[in-house]
Structure 1
Amino acid sequence: MAKVSPLVALPPLVFAAMAALFYFGMFRDDPDALPSAVAGAPAPDVALTPLGDKPGFDRAALDAPGVKLVNFWASWCAPCRVEHPKLEQLAAEGLPIYGVNYKDEPDKALAFLRDLGDPYVAVGADATGRTALDWGLYGVPETYVIDGDGTVILRFAGPITESVLASTIRPAIEAASR
């Protein structure tokens, strides 16, 4: 009789372990949530360059009284185009939104705002991605709700849709208002 190697059992064991990880991973509280190192902490500094003749902003603007949003975006980002009408809606309601143009060409970024509208009270360019790193950015678009003390209440990765606006952004704005 031929001797069977103990390594024959390795593939089924690896498969069983991976299946268990996937199974238990399905029952996490929010499987789509990405962890944020800045939520609940003071908003990180911003080191941005001017974008055309648009007004810029700094850390002091984020510490000013009142709820505000910080939105990371780029002209080359298709989901940024999807969420843009929701940002315009929030800006029309009087919510200050600060824009961070991420690793973009200035002419294309300015054309994006000219063509789709400019919801930002101030905007700056993060050509090197340094500010994005400080904020823990996963990718664009990404939006942060900041309270009147400059504390990050919520970090939302992905485009703001109608359902995200109702279920996530507006409740965070309400919480930041307290």
Structure 2
Amino acid sequence: MNKQRFFLFVPLFIFAVLIVLFWRGLSLNPNDMPSALLNKPVPAFELPVLPAPENPQGLVSANHEMLKGRVSLLNVWATWCTTCRQEHEFLNKLKAQGILIYGINYKDNTDDAQRWLAELHNPYVFSVTDEDGRLGLNLGVFGAPETYVLDKQGVIRYKHIGDVNVQVWEKTIKPIVDNLQ
């Protein structure tokens, strides 16, 4: 008889444990996901550069060595990403302030990306096309947008998941950039 009562409470116990685990999971901030590449150089790559409207010939290809020399941002974006569209205007404002931003056009259509830059302006020094997502995979990209802060040696010092906006820039990214200057 005691065994039967015990088994009646097992589902209740399992339910209580699941509630605690779900509550804990929902309280986590997804932007706090650490990057395995923090304090490591940007992975080696050589990818075609997306021709920009203001410079249609531009670079034929770019590689990781070209990210060295100045503190900069590396922004993962795509035309299919609605949050990227919201972020884009602020990236243009950062460019106007002299912030260097390199782009990774992630798993996107090149023609769509060129139209996007023509329509919304180009905040990037250059943007490589990562059509197959290999560079994104090597960077540990979860999705677009994501932004990495690079030091003068091309080492990743910070990763931000989500859009860069005034609040994120002022409270988080700008202090890191200023410290690295």
Query: Are 2:152 and 1:153 aligned?
Result: no
Over 3 Å counting, the alpha-carbon distance change for 1:14 and 1:47 in structure 2 is farther
Q: Is the 8 A contact 2:75 2:146 kept in 1?
A: yes
Q: Is the 8 A contact 2:31 2:160 kept in 1?
A: no
By how many angstroms is 1:23 displaced? 5.1
Rounded Cα–Cα distance in structure 2 between residues aligned with 1:97 and 1:34: 22
Instruction: After superposition, give the CA deviation of every residue in 1:84-132 in whole Å (9 maximum; x if it has no partner).
Output: 1111111111121111101111110000000000011111100000000
Query: Are 2:46 and 1:41 aligned?
Result: no
By how many angstroms is 1:18 displaced? 2.4
Indicate the residue corresponding to 2:66 in structure 1: 61
Matched residue type, 2:36? A
Query: Are 2:32 and 1:19 aligned?
Result: no
Rounded Cα–Cα distance in structure 2 between residues aligned with 1:83 and 1:3: 59
Out of 13-22 and 38-47, give the one that drifted further. Answer: 13-22
Rounded Cα–Cα distance in structure 1 between residues aligned with 2:153 and 2:17: 46
By how many angstroms is 1:162 displaced? 1.3
Matched residue type, 2:11? P
Q: Is the 8 A contact 1:74 1:103 kept in 2?
A: yes
Indicate the residue corresponding to 2:113 in structure 1: 109
Matched residue type, 2:156? V
Out of 51-60 and 70-79, give the one that drifted further. Answer: 51-60
Indicate the residue corresponding to 1:139 in structure 2: 143
Large movers: runs of 4+ above 6 Å:
none
Q: Is the 8 A contact 2:39 2:155 kept in 1?
A: yes
What 5-or-longer segments of structure 2 have no aligned partner? none
What 5-or-longer segments of structure 1 have no aligned partner? none
TM-score, normalised with respect to structure 2: 0.86
Out of 45-54 and 168-177, give the one that drifted further. Answer: 45-54
Indicate the residue corresponding to 1:7 in structure 2: 7
Rounded Cα–Cα distance in structure 1 between residues aligned with 2:25 and 2:113: 39
Q: Is the 8 A contact 2:46 2:62 kept in 1?
A: no
Aligned residues, how many?
175
SS at the partner of 2:32?
coil
Q: Is the 8 A contact 1:43 1:150 kept in 2?
A: yes
Of all paired residues, the percent bearing the same amino acid is 37
By how many angstroms is 1:24 displaced? 5.1
